[in-house]
Structure 1
Amino acid sequence: MRRTRDPKRPVQASAPHTSWAVELRAVQRRYGKGRATVHALRGIDLALPHGSFTAVMGPSGSGKSTFLQCAAGLDRPSDGTVRLGGTDITTMNENKLTELRRARLGFVFQAFNLLPSLTVEQNVLLPMRLAGRRPDRHRAAEVLGQVGLGDKGHRRPSELSGGQQQRVAVARALVTRPDVIFADEPTGALDTTTATEILGLMRTAVDGLGATVVMVTHDPAAAAWADRVLFLADGSLADQLDHASAQTIAARMTDLTTRHRRTAGAVA
């Protein structure tokens, strides 16, 4: 049975948490000025616990990408507060914010973003180097083993399949034991079988390693791997589903998209 969220109540787990993995309070993001102003986010309130897997969905133009960029410190909100692991990142200067992203966050993108001139092991160790830490080859071997690539450390990305390259990206995201892993359409360039393998890896990272994953996706089958699915519409949190099937998620997305088109048509 679908559960509909009270839009005035922040999204959070039932149990109290003194420190959330991801916390957004009254977050707004506007672009432009005057009549040309675009309200990409309209007062987002949510709190996500450590060790959780959250998927974010919504119609085109709903604010998914802006949400991820603001939550991950890649963009600054116009108003409101963002905290990661209890740290307020909203007013951090760019140098401090860069340090935090390198040391405490992991990223997985649709485009694998591996450096072709580096080996698999060197790509995995890159976040450590960028954070000014001594590269830990034992840790690299550990995470490569966890994603099933323990024997590929000396290969180049061009020698791997697309699915294997995304596995390297997941290993790279895990290597620093980050507070949060942000994933932006991580399975968008993969076939169904390989996508399932990657989603299984992220699910295992949450369940077995205590990682926190926040994933933007358009695919209900991918979102069904998450503990919770948040739905954005017109820059606001419209609904949520917990432990839902792909069919239930797809039905909710169809409903939201239909309403979004009707609203857009009425405004036009």
Structure 2
Amino acid sequence: MRGVRREYGRGAATVHALRGIDLSLPRGSFTAVMGPSGSGKSTFLQCAAGLDVPTAGSVRLGGTEITGMNENELTELRRSRLGFVFQAFNLLPSLTVEQNVLLPMRLAGGRQDRARAEDLLARVGLEGKGRRRPAELSGGQQQRVAIARALVTRPDVVFADEPTGALDTTTAAEVLGLLRSAVDSLGATIVMVTHDPAAAASADQVLFLADGLIADRLPRSSAATIAARMTALTAPAYAGAAA
């Protein structure tokens, strides 16, 4: 991302969601993005993933400039080179677990590699559950299916938006372990938006957004260190509000 800005509205009502993001993330890395409400986290993820178009600046995926792509080109990019994991899982209830995992391949018009799906389901602890429907699985298991689906096309980047937000602490830790393993064992590149310091502690680095800018960053750190940095980042805002 180079000089990425995103504005909404016009004139005095203009909202500066991103004010100039310069960032380069290496392949095979795990980055967590944190920040107070309204800091620009969601806009950051949407612009980086080609789900929203920056007002200014450029976004490159590998050697591909995606900023000027039309909607059809962006759709193809998202199907073939990007993976997504959401808080709400977003599985299709009418499809089996295996069919959900293979869906990106099906949408991209390529060969549906059932052996690849079977391998990924085994990696996420769901071996033998390919014929089940999402409703037959727990929330944690459904998120495991979503992770397998995100990885099935061997994407350049997986974007995860609050992937543990709907899970209990133990299940969340298991899911984070799977994401960490995807980076370490499969060479995946993951960008994860989270509000949870414990989740961010799984990442190689943590970026802190504030008022549409990268305000700080930490190398891989403990949850306590991340929480303290987050508190320091938001303290002036709370103090100002209290005043």
Q: Same fold (TM over 0.5)?
A: yes
Deviations 1:78-129 (A, max 9, x none): 0000011221100001100100000000000000000000000000000001
Q: Secondary structure at the match of 2:22?
A: strand
Identity %: 78
**Aligned residues: CA RMSD:** 1.0
Aligned-partner residue type, residue 104 of structure 1:
R
Rounded to whole Å, the distance in 2 between the matches of 1:25 and 1:246 is: 29
Identify the residue that residue 86 of structure 1 maps to in structure 2.
63
What runs of 5+ residues in structure 1 fail to find an aligned partner? Answer: 1-23
Rounded to whole Å, the distance in 2 between the matches of 1:145 and 1:175 is: 13
Identify the residue that residue 120 of structure 1 maps to in structure 2.
97
- TM score, norm. by length of structure 2: 0.98
Identify the residue that residue 4 of structure 1 maps to in structure 2.
none
**Cα offset for 1:252?**
0.7
Q: Secondary structure at the match of 1:254?
A: helix
**Cα offset for 1:263?**
5.1
Q: Which of 143, 159, 175 in structure 1 is aligned with 2:136?
A: 159
Q: Which of 197, 215, 219 in structure 2 is aligned with 1:238?
A: 215
Rounded to whole Å, the distance in 1 between the matches of 2:34 and 2:111 is: 38
Q: Which of 121, 129, 145 in structure 2 is aligned with 1:168?
A: 145
Q: Contact 1:31–1:38 at 8 Å: present in 2 too?
A: yes
Rounded to whole Å, the distance in 2 between the matches of 1:92 and 1:112 is: 27
Q: Secondary structure at the match of 1:46?
A: coil
- TM score, norm. by length of structure 1: 0.89
Identify the residue that residue 204 of structure 1 maps to in structure 2.
181
Identify the residue that residue 194 of structure 1 maps to in structure 2.
171
Aligned-partner residue type, residue 220 of structure 2:
H
| 1:98 and 2:81 correspond | no
What runs of 5+ residues in structure 2 fail to find an aligned partner? Answer: none
Identify the residue that residue 52 of structure 1 maps to in structure 2.
29
Q: Secondary structure at the match of 2:50?
A: coil
- Alpha carbons of 1:84 and 1:260: their partners in 2 closer, same or farther (altered >3 Å)? farther
Deviations 1:189-231 (A, max 9, x none): 0000100000000000001110000000000000000000000
Q: Secondary structure at the match of 1:47?
A: coil
Rounded to whole Å, the distance in 2 between the matches of 1:163 and 1:46 is: 32
Identify the residue that residue 143 of structure 1 maps to in structure 2.
120
Q: Secondary structure at the match of 1:170?
A: helix
Aligned-partner residue type, residue 193 of structure 1:
T
Rounded to whole Å, the distance in 2 between the matches of 1:79 and 1:131 is: 29
Q: Which of 18, 21, 38 in structure 2 is aligned with 1:61?
A: 38
